[in-house]
Amino acid sequence: MTSLYDKTLQGWRFILFNLCLGLSHALVIFNAGAYIAMLPRVAAGLGIPPSFATWTQTDYMIGLALAFPVGGWLSRRMGEYRPFVAAFFVYALASMICALATGFYSYLAGRIVLGFAGGMTLPLGQSLLIKEYPDKRKSIGIGIWSVFTLTPFTFGPPVGGWIADTLGWRWLFWINIPIALAIAGIVGALLYQRGSRRLRHRFDSVGFVLITLILFAVQTLLNQGNDWDWTHSRYINGLIFFIVVTLIYWVIWELGVCRPFVDIRLFAHRNFTIGVLVLFVGFLFAQGLLSMLIVQLQLALGYSSLLAGLVFLPMAIFAKPMASVFHEIVKRFDARLLASLNCLGFATTYFWLSRFDDQDAFAQLFWPKLLEGACLGSFFVPLTALLLHGLPPERQWRAVELASLMRIAAGAIGITLQGIVLYQRAPLHMTRFAETHGIFDSRFEQTLEPLIEAGYSESMALARLAKLASRNAIIHAMNDAFWIAGCVFVGLSMLVWLAEPTRQPARRTAGQARRREEQEILVEEP
C-alpha cells in the first residue's frame, strides 16, 4: 500500500518546484511554436523537399496528441511525478537523436518520440503543480500554469527564427537536452519517495495501437498524396482502404470495451459533438494557415527565418490577456454567443488576410495578426464550456482528453491540408498569368519594358518576370486559402447555435470552478 500525497513542499523547495514546472511547460510549448519557423532550414539541412520537412512537424504533433490520454492513464495508475520525470529523460534522449540525425527517417522517429514525451508532460505537469497548493490557493497555481500556455507558443516563431538564422536549427535540440535533464533531476529529487493514490485500471492497448495506426496513416496519406497523384496510385488507394477498415474496427472495439483509450460514447451528447467539431475544424485552419504563411514567407517571398517569425509576434500582444479575461466572461454569458463571435472574428481576420498583395508590406500582416491573436486567446475557453456542458463530473476529464487529442491532431492535419491547397491553387494562378501575359499581348510588353529599362537583358528580364509570376501565384494561392478559411469560420459561427444554452443560473462551488478552469487551460495546450 502506497503512502498518500500528504506533505507539500515549503520554502525555497516550493519556489524551485514552481520554476521547474513552469520551465517544463514553456519548453514543450516553445518547441512546438519555434520549429515552424525552422522548417525551410530543416529541409535544406537534411537535403529533403519542403513537404518532407512538414512531415516532421505533423508527425510530431500526432505524437503530442496521442500522449494526452496516455498521460492521464499513467497519472491514475502510477501517480504523476514518476512518469513526468521519465518523460523528460526520454525528451532529452529524443532531442539528442534529432540533433545528431543525418537521415530523414531517423530524424522523423526522433521527432515522433519527442512529441510523445513532451505531450505526456503537459497534463502530468499541471496536476503536479496544482497539487502542491493548498485548496485556498489552488487558483494561484492554475494562474501560474496558464501564463505558460499560449505565451511560449506565440513567442516561439520569432525566437525559433533567430536560433535558425544565427545558431542553426539543430541548436533547438541541443538547448533542449540540458534543460530537460535539469527539470527531470530537480523534480525527481524534490518529490523523491512521494506517494499517490493509485487506481488499477487496465490500459486499452488495442485501442491505443489502432488509433495510432489511423492517425499516422492519415498523415502519411495527406503528406504523400500530391507526390503519388492521389487515387491514381495503388499505394494511396491501399492506404485509404487501410484507414477505412482500421477506423471501422477501432470504433467497434472502443464501443465494446469497458474502459476505452478514448471515450467515443461522448459523441452521443449534442453539445460535446458540436463543441469538439468546431474546436477541430477551427484549429485545423488556424494552425494550418499559420504554418503555411510562415513557411511561404521564407520559401517564396524571401523572408529570413527571424523576419518570418516576427510576423507572428503581434499575436502575443492579445492572446494571453484575452484568454485570462474569457475565463471570467464565460461564467456570465452563454458560451454559444462567445464562440460565435469568436468565429466571426476569425472570419474577419482571414478575409482581411486574403487581400494580401505585396510581399514587402509588413504592415499588411501586422494588423490582421493582432486581431488573430485576440481571437486565438478567446477561442478555447467558450468551446471548452460548450463541449463540457451537461456532462457528469466523472466524464469531464475523459472529454478533455478526447478534445485535446482531436484538437492537436487537427493542427497536424491542417498543416498538411493547407499545403495541398497551395499545391493545387498556385499552378492555376500561374496558368492564368500566362494566359493574360502572352507574347503577343500588349500587357506582356508593358510588364517587360520596365525590367529592360532597369538594365536587364531580354533573357534576364524574362527570367525575372517568371520569378515574379511565381511569387504572384503563391500570394494568390495563399489568399485563396485564407478566403476559404473565412467562409468556413462563418459556417462555424452558425453551427454553435445548434447546441444547447450553457449559461447556468446556479453558482458553482470553488472546487467546481477550479476544476473547470484546469480543464479549460488543458484544452488550450498547443
pLDDT in tens, 174-193: 999 999 999 999 999 988 87
Residues 354 and 372 occupy one common structural domain: yes
Q: Which contacts (CB < 8 Å, 24+ apart) does range 313-317 have?
A: 313/154, 313/155, 313/157, 313/158, 314/366, 314/367, 314/369, 314/370, 314/373, 315/154, 315/369, 315/370, 315/372, 315/373, 315/376, 316/151, 316/154, 316/155, 316/373, 317/370, 317/373
Does pLDDT of 153 surpass 80?
no
Looking at the fold, whether 19 and 102 belong to one and the same domain comes out as: yes
pLDDT in tens, 306-315: 888 888 888 8
The CA–CA distances, whole Å, from 477 to 285, 414, 423, 473 equal: 15, 16, 8, 6
- Residue 104 to residue 107: CA distance in whole angstroms: 5
- Asked whether residue 443 falls in the same domain as residue 517, the answer is no
pLDDT band (50, 70, 90) for residue 505: very low
Last residue of a domain, one of 180, 202, 224: 202
Q: What pTM value is reported for the model? A: 0.89
Asked whether residue 112 falls in the same domain as residue 208, the answer is: no
**Is the Cα dihedral 57, 522, 14, 195 positive or negative?**
negative
Q: What is the pLDDT of residue 140?
A: 72
pLDDT digits (tens, 9 = 90+) for 100-122: 999 999 999 999 999 999 999 98
Mean pLDDT of 379-392: 89
Cell numbers that stand for 146 in this block:
496558464
For residue 282, give its domain range. 266-424+477-526
The tens digit of pLDDT for each residue in 195-235 reads 666 667 788 999 999 999 999 999 999 988 888 888 889 99
Q: Identify whether residues 396 and 413 lie together within a single domain.
A: yes
pLDDT on residue 360: 57
Question: What element of type H or E holds 276?
Answer: helix 270-299
Residue 320 has a pLDDT of 75
* 141 and 44 in a common domain: yes
Q: What is the DSSP letter of 268?
A: G
Report the distance separating Cα 25 and Cα 19, nearest Å.
10
Answer yes or no: do 419 and 434 share one domain: no
Query: In the prediction, which pLDDT does 510 show?
Result: 63
Q: Could you tell me the three cell numbers for 517? A: 478552469
Specify the pLDDT at position 150. 62
**For position 3, what pLDDT does the model report?**
44
Any idea how long the chain is?
526
- Residue 144 or 495, more confident: 495
Number of domains present in the structure of the chain? 4
The reply to whether 460 and 483 lie within a common domain is no
How far is 465 from 436, CA to CA, in rounded Å?
Answer: 13
* CATH (domain of 195): 1.20.1250.20
Q: Is the pLDDT of residue 474 over 80?
A: yes
Query: pLDDT value at position 2?
Result: 43
CA 355 – CA 476 distance, rounded (Å): 9
Contact 350, 491 (CB under 8 A): no
AA letter at 521 = I
462 and 484 share a domain? no
The answer, yes or no, to whether residue 455 has pLDDT greater than 80, is: no
Q: For residue 520, is pLDDT > 70?
A: no
